[in-house]
Amino acid sequence: MMESFIEVLSAALSGWIVLVAFIGVLWGILGGALPGISPSIAMALLLPFTYGMDPLLAIVLLASVYVGAEYGGSIPAILIRTPGTNASAATTIDGYEMARQGRAGEALGISLTSGLVGGLLGLLVLILATEPLANIALAFTAPAYFSLGILGLSVIASLSGESLLKGLIAALCGLMIAVIGTDPISGTPRFTFGSPELLSGIKPILIMVGLFAISEMLVQISEPAWERISGATSKLKLPAWAMWRRLFKPQAIGSVIGTFEGITPGAGGTVAAFMSYSEAKRWSKHPEEFGKGSPEGVAAPECANNVVTATALVPLLSLGIPGSNSAAILLGAFMVHGLQPGPLLLQKSPEIISGLFGGLLAANIAMFLIGLVILGPCIWLVNRPKPYLIGAILALVVTGVYSIHQSIFEVGIMLAAGLLGYIMRIANIPVLPLVLGVVLGFMVESNYRRSLLISGGDHTIFLEDKVSLILLILSLSLALYSLVREIIETRKTAAL
């Protein structure tokens, strides 16, 4: 254990890792401050750039963007009541009230320090939880891996949106995209329609960039411009010791909730932030202040959503299953560099994992240091006319994707994914299950067919393997629970 911490610290002090952590955090804060640019979009914009980089630096860069974006989202949330990211929506409630009372600097200071506390605690959980979980997963057989993939898909499908059925539709569409290309066992082309470019399949990175970045720009083109921020509110104020003592309880609540929500695939920062807000209010000595500018109402959600930036990586690193949009982008980065996160990565390339932990430590410290001085540039950026930002983002995305393999065909695939993402938003279908279907499709199919090869075609192998049986029962239970809950909700709505 002590060796792990020493490895993490020495990685955090490595020059290149510190540099990319700072760059990533800066990009993340600026991106997160722009309403409509989620952490996953900020990461997706940089993803093509990382193709030629060292794998560890690429992954640290993107993870740092995630860290920075969660703080960046709180800036417009506090100053103009417009959350920069979904997870900072809870911060808006009391943060904006504090700004209206002339306490914007105080709110921003609480957001920054709570974010640092959350980020560091989340990192500690990540370091402690990853290896034990990965060691359990090492004992998994092919049937167990198949069932794990099914569990991952059903968890995401049930937690990612309002409807289990729509979540399942998205997951199945993702699997459909994953099977395009060449059959892994016989080499027969599938759904390539004679196109040689499709023989190697559709790369998940194209789907992710299209679904997140392009579809968001298609939405933003019809949205009105966001409010301008006044420069007069640009002085950040760190909390005094008395305030730190008051914030201890909401930060503790945010940390605990963020830990559990982060580890649970599909739950994410937004759920953690709102739950933390509500629990902090319940346990506060001054619940009447909530909604009227309570510092605890800023501390709890900000701490929670920064804990999630680290704990959402637990299922990704230990099991290879991304639990959030941003973790899915990170998985894309791993795959682009030929790495498969999971228990085998921990065994074969532990330096990647300890390097990532060190990078996250550097990123959290960078977030605090950059956060102290970045407010002015953030305000400047948010105040730029939106049309110019849309034009710049679109040009950056199409250029970045082209740069991966110098393929115009791939840019076309990305645009098609963008259109699909837009249609999914109109139809209120969650996007994360589709992304998961794309990234897990190969694992699910290959382990399914490998299991049947082992058993000679007998499907009972999935029930005879104890781990596989438990995972399948969990999947079914979760799906049934979500379905029953949905039916009850629908009946309640119809009864009103």
Partner 1 sequence: MNFLKSDLLLSLFGMSFAGAYSWVSADIPKSMLSDEVGPGGVPFAIGTSLFLVCALLFLKSTTGILRLKNKTEAGSSLKISEPSSPKDFIQLHKKAALLFGVLVAYVALLPYLGYLLAVTALFYVSTSFAGASSRVGVFMFSMAGALALFLIFEMVMGVKMPRGILGF
Contacts to partner 1 by CB under 8 A: 49, 52, 165-166, 168-169, 172-173, 175-176, 179, 183, 185-188, 190-191, 214, 217-219, 221-222, 225, 385-388, 390-392, 394-396, 398-399, 402-403, 406, 408, 411-412, 415, 418-419, 422, 426-429, 445, 448-449, 452-453, 457, 490, 494, 496
How far CA 412 is from CA of 41, 253, 415, 418, in Å, comes to: 19, 46, 5, 10
**Rounded Cα gap, residues 143 and 151, in angstroms:** 12
Distances (CA, A) of 454 to 146, 333, 447: 13, 32, 10
Residue 181, beta-bridge partner list = 190
* Nearest-angstrom CA–CA distance, 445 and 137: 18
Residue among 140, 180, 144, 172 nearest 156 (CA): 172
* 190 φ/ψ angles, rounded to the nearest 5 degrees: -130, 125
**How far apart, in whole angstroms, are the C-alpha atoms of residue 465 and residue 455?**
11
**In whole angstroms, how close is the CB of 411 to partner 1 at the nearest point?**
5
How many whole angstroms separate alpha carbon 47 and alpha carbon 45?
A: 6
Residue 92 CA to residue 99 CA, distance in Å, equals 10
Neighbours of 172 (CB within 10 A): 14
C-beta separation of 157 from 171 below 8 A: yes
Token reading at 172 = 């199945």
The amino acid sitting at 62 is L
User: What whole-number distance in Å separates Cα of residue 396 and Cα of residue 43?
Assistant: 13
